[in-house]
Amino acid sequence: MKTPEEIFAEAKALVESADTPAAVEELRIRYLGKKGEVTALLKSMGGLAPEERKSFGMQANKLKQDVEALLEAKQGVLAEAGQGLRLAAERIDVTEPGRIYEPGTKHMITITMDEISGIFMRLGYSITEGPEVETVFNNFDALNAAPDHPSRDMSDTFYITEDTLLRTHTSPVQVRTLMSQEPPIKVISPGRCFRTDTPDATHSPMFHQVEGLLVDEGVTMADLKGTLDLFAKRMFGEEMRTRFRPHFFPFTEPSAEVDVSCFVCGGSAPSCRVCRGSGWIEILGCGMVHPNVLKVGGLDTDRYTGFAFGMGVERIAMLKHGIDDIRLFYENDIRFIGQFY
C-alpha cells in the first residue's frame, strides 16, 4: 500500500500536468471520490490498532486537505486562464473606424406635397384626405362628368368593380368634403391617383395631386386668381407671372388652366426645352365650382359660390428641380432620391 507521502507526490505531479477543468475533476474523483485513493486510506483506518490509529488518522486527514488544496488551486488557475482566453476572443479594436449610418431624407414627392400644402396652410386651408379606392359616383358622376365622358373608359381608368375604381384624380375629395362640411370650406387634399397610362418620361400609372376647394358666400373668380397667383409666386419665385387660359373641366364653370412664366428662359428662347419657346408653362387646372357639384353637397347655389383647383405634384417637382423623367421618382435609386432634402 502506498504511503500518504507517495500518494501526495503522485497527485501533485498529475494535478500539475492536468490542463483542463475536466481533467482536474477526474483527478478529484480519482483521489477524493467514493472509491478514491485518499478515501480508501481513510477507510482503512478502521482495521488499525487503537495506538496506531491516531497518528495515521492525522496523516491521512492532512493528505486529504493537501490534495483538496492542490485541486482547488489548479481549478483556480485554469478558470483564470479560461477567462483570459474568453477576453482575448472578445477583444474589441477600439481604433477601428466606426460604421457610418447615412441619415435618410424625405422623398422629393413628399417634400413637394409638404411645400404645396404648407403654402395653403399659411393661407388658412386645412388638409383633408380621401381614399384611393373611390366610388364611380364620387370620381365621376358627382363631379358632373357626362355619362359618356372619355375618362370613364376602361382604357383610362382602373376599375375594381362596376361602381368602384382607383381614383383618377383628387377631385372626389371635393365631393366628400361638400357632403360632410358646411361652408365656409377651405381645404386642400394631397394624395395618390391612378390612370392606365403606359410609363414614359412624363406619364406614370400612379402619380400624385394636390386638390384645393374653397366655398363661401361671395367667392369670385378674382379670389381664385389672387390665390393661385400668390401660390405660384411662393412656389416658384416672387418674379413669377401667371396666365389664366380658358379650358374645360366638367366640375368647374368657368374653367381655366394656369400657366407660369417660364423660369428657364423667361420666354426668350424659341428652342427652350421647358416652355418650347412659348414663355409659359402649365402648372394646374382650376375654376369656379359648378353649381351641379355644389348641389351634391345640398348647398344653396344662390347663396354659395366657390373655386377649386388641382395640380400634379410630379409635374411641379419636375419643373421646379429640372427633373426630366417622371420614372426617376419611383425607381428609388439612392443617387437620385438622396439629392433632395
Between 4 and 312, name the residue whose CB sits nearer to ligand DAH: 312
Segment near ligand DAH (CB under 6 A), from 11-19, 87-95, 109-117, 304-312?
304-312
Burial 168-198 (b: 16+ CB within 10 A, else e): bbbbbbbbbbbeeeebebbbbbbbebbbeee
Query: Which 121-180 positions form the footprint of ligand DAH (CB under 6 A)?
Result: 169, 171
Do 262 and 280 touch, CB atoms closer than 8 A?
yes
C-alpha distances (whole Å) from 286 to each of 70, 137, 151, 283, 299 are: 96, 21, 18, 10, 20
What CA–CA distance (Å, rounded) separates 173 from 191?
A: 10
Segment near ligand DAH (CB under 6 A), from 23-31, 57-65, 272-280, 283-291?
283-291
Between 8 and 309, name the residue whose CB sits nearer to ligand DAH: 309
- Which residues, in sequence order, are CB contacts of 310 under 8 Å at separation 6+? 169, 170, 171, 209, 210, 211, 212, 284, 285, 286
Segment near ligand DAH (CB under 6 A), from 94-102, 176-184, 262-270, 282-290?
282-290
- Taking alpha carbons only, the member of 312, 313, 289 closest to residue 185 is 289
Residue in 286, 296, 299, 326 binding ligand DAH, rule: CB under 6 A:
286
- Taking alpha carbons only, the member of 299, 206, 287 closest to residue 254 is 287
Between 255 and 261, name the residue whose CB sits nearer to ligand DAH: 255
Between 74 and 315, name the residue whose CB sits nearer to ligand DAH: 315
Query: Which 203-222 positions form the footprint of ligand DAH (CB under 6 A)?
Result: 211
Residue with CB nearest ligand DAH?
Answer: 310
Amino acid identity, residue 311? M
Establish if 183 lies at the interface with ligand DAH (CB under 6 A).
Answer: no
Burial 294-309 (b: 16+ CB within 10 A, else e): bebbebeeeebbbbbb
Q: How many residues in the shown chain lie near ligand DAH by CB under 6 A?
A: 11
Segment near ligand DAH (CB under 6 A), from 14-22, 91-99, 157-165, 302-310?
302-310
**Residue 288 grid coordinates:** 369656379
Establish if 306 lies at the interface with ligand DAH (CB under 6 A).
Answer: no
- Which residues, in sequence order, are CB contacts of 324 under 8 Å at separation 6+? 201, 318
Do 315 and 198 touch, CB atoms closer than 8 A?
no
Between 286 and 326, name the residue whose CB sits nearer to ligand DAH: 286
Do 196 and 155 touch, CB atoms closer than 8 A?
yes
Establish if 285 lies at the interface with ligand DAH (CB under 6 A).
Answer: yes
Establish if 308 lies at the interface with ligand DAH (CB under 6 A).
Answer: yes
Between 115 and 253, name the residue whose CB sits nearer to ligand DAH: 253
Between 194 and 309, name the residue whose CB sits nearer to ligand DAH: 309
Establish if 310 lies at the interface with ligand DAH (CB under 6 A).
Answer: yes
Residue in 204, 242, 252, 261 binding ligand DAH, rule: CB under 6 A:
252
What CA–CA distance (Å, rounded) separates 306 from 117?
A: 19
Chain positions contacting ligand DAH, by CB under 6 A: 169, 171, 211, 249, 252, 285-287, 308-310
